[in-house]
Amino acid sequence: MMIGYARVSRDEDNLGLQLDALRAAGCEKIFIDEGVSGLTIERDGLDQALGTVGESDVLVVWKLDRLGRSLGFPIDLLCTLQSNGADFQSLTDGIDTTTANGRVIFDVMRSLLQFENALIREHTKADGIFGEPRASYSAYAEAALLDRVAARPERMAGEREASG
């Protein structure tokens, strides 16, 4: 069975395009979240759709960003679907895990996300090892100026002693 999911962020956004595309794709059931941000993970419509999806079913969205704003949540969701024997189709993004090409595209996206996460971990680890980020030129120049200003009274006192 093909199960559709549609989401709009604001109540005034139009669901029509998404719903028409999901119906044309053959979705038998369509679940909707209206006025819900893509940053929000807990969504009633999405929860209902996922509760309906079973083995051999396909979750269909008009566009991948309907599942979430960042790539992490949709990729995790697709991995869960696949591990439960279900598939995924994004009508406008060329992702269809029922086909070999779609599975390759999904695997590339998952690999890129893993790569990005690894880079973030490396940068975080490097910050911990090497401490504070290096100061910029302007920070060094300001510190040098403050040092000269602070040393000025001592230098002036030394000049007075030499001349006096």
Contacts of 2 (CB under 8 A, 6+ apart): 25, 26, 27, 28, 57, 58, 60, 89
Q: Catalytic residue at 90? A: no
CA dist 100 and 90 (Å) reads 15
Q: DSSP character for 63?
A: S
SS3 36: coil
Whether 7 contacts 32, CB under 8 Å: yes
Q: Which amino acid is at 96?
A: D
Catalytic option among 9, 37, 56, 90? 9
Q: Which residues carry out catalysis?
A: 9
